[in-house]
Amino acid sequence: METKILKINPFDVNLEKINIAADIIKLGGLVVFPTETVYGLGANALNENAVKKIYKAKGRPADNPLIMHFDKLEKIKDYVYITEELLEKIKIFVPGPITFVLKRKSIVPNIITANMDTVAVRIPAHPIANKLIEMSGVPIAAPSANLSGKPSPTIAEHVVEDMKGRVDVIIDGGNVDFGLESTVIDLTEEIPTILRPGPITPENLKEVFGKIKIPDFVYGKGKVDTAKAPGMKYRHYAPDKKTILVEYSENRINIIKEKIKNYKNPLLVIFEEDKKFFNEYDIMISGSKDNYYKIAVNLFSILRDADKTDNDVIIIEGVLDKGLGISIMNRLRKASSEIWGE
Ligand code: AMP
Ligand code: MG
């Protein structure tokens, strides 16, 4: 398949180019587009054949449901059951990097929801995503635009790497804002429950919902409730190389120095503050230990770059399980096959 690449400036959105992409969506094709979280791989959510192509292009298992994207919050009312009271609450986060799981109406195709009675909805804040959905005139089903299992793409080059030849259009809109997938919150439970931590933190959510639940699996502990969060059971975000996560502690430098001796050709992905302790090793900088936002934005890009070096193992420093750190650690635990800690 030939893939057309459209370069669009998010600060000065070219409507003619968006229109080309919107026509592809209307015709049942696939369009990759930037959002504020990561790049998405979109199709007309109401066209089952088009949605099937998403699963095929990604190699995604059929029981991993997709998120339905809308340009305006009001429009979700045609697809989900929601009270005015709840609508008022979620308005505070919309548009933005958060996805709400709600009871679905029958108009939502089964293929999007993996046959569940709930559907995930999101209203992205990115100007290109928003215009594309508006001009397509339909909700857009979209997962992240990576091959299944790989780190999500946060720059257009990574989309091209994974999706060239598999989709009709790739919109190159430059870098994303957050670099982590949206927070997924299940609002069908009595206490709103985080299924995937993301840019909107538990603290942000508590302010609006009062009580919220964070299941153990979010922290990489306990079993995933696959009936509620089917997508979370899969290995994700993973480099091909063996990846080791070092849990954050005051003692992290000593732990790494001791254990790294067992490896011939390791690559260290560490905070700029810790670089000076490892001059003899190959190093990539993840950011500053005091700036989680920066670490999050670069995380997936660094994992991809780390996979391309000739090192045989990636050793990456983790952060504290606090605020945005919960979301970073959730991804790092899934990306790694071994954890070093105290
Ligand atoms: P992706 O778009 O690749 O980040 O994946 C979307 C994720 O949203 C899936 O892996 C699911 O975990 C989650 N999701 C989508 N629909 C539902 C749903 N109805 N219930 C629970 N989680 C969902
Ligand atoms: Mg994904």
Q: Where in the chain is the domain with CATH 3.40.50.11030?
A: 242-340
Asked whether 64 lines ligand 1 (CB < 6 A), one says: yes
Higher pLDDT residue, 3 or 237? 3
CATH of 242-340, one of 3.40.50.11030, 1.10.10.10, 3.40.50.300, 3.40.50.2300: 3.40.50.11030
In CATH terms, the superfamily for domain 4-219 is: DHBP synthase (3.90.870.10)
pLDDT in tens, 60-81: 999 999 999 999 999 999 999 9
Q: What is the mean pLDDT of residues 168-194?
A: 97
Q: What is the mean pLDDT of residues 173-184?
A: 97
Asked whether 139 lines ligand 1 (CB < 6 A), one says: no
Q: What is the mean pLDDT of residues 203-232?
A: 90
Q: Which pLDDT score, from 0 to 100, does residue 230 have?
A: 81
Residues 6+ apart with CB under 8 A from 68: 45, 79, 108, 112, 119, 120, 121, 122, 139, 140, 141
Residue 258 exposed, middle or buried by CB count within 10 Å (0-12, 13-18, 19+): exposed
SS3 137: coil
Asked whether 246 lines ligand 1 (CB < 6 A), one says: no
- Residue 134: enclosing H or E segment and its boundaries? helix 127-136
Is residue 227's pLDDT more than 80? no
Residues measured by CB to lie within 5 Å of ligand 2, the ion? 143-144
Q: Which token pair is 313?
A: 């193992």
Asked whether 319 lines ligand 1 (CB < 6 A), one says: no
Q: Which pLDDT score, from 0 to 100, does residue 223 have?
A: 85
147 Cα to the center of ligand 2, angstroms? 9
Q: Which pLDDT score, from 0 to 100, does residue 237 have?
A: 78
163 Cα to the center of ligand 2, angstroms? 14
Provide, rounded to the nearest whole percent, the portion of the chain with pLDDT above 70: 100
Q: Where in the chain is the domain with CATH 3.90.870.10?
A: 4-219
Report the C-alpha gap between 312 and 119 in whole angstroms.
41
Is residue 36's pLDDT more than 80? yes
Confidence of residue 261 (pLDDT cuts 50, 70, 90): very high
Question: Contacts for 334-338 with beta carbons within 8 Å, 24 or more apart?
Answer: 334/220, 334/235, 334/236, 334/237, 334/238, 335/151, 335/236, 335/237, 335/238, 335/239, 335/243, 335/245, 335/303, 336/243, 336/244, 336/245, 337/242, 337/243, 337/244, 338/242, 338/243, 338/244, 338/245
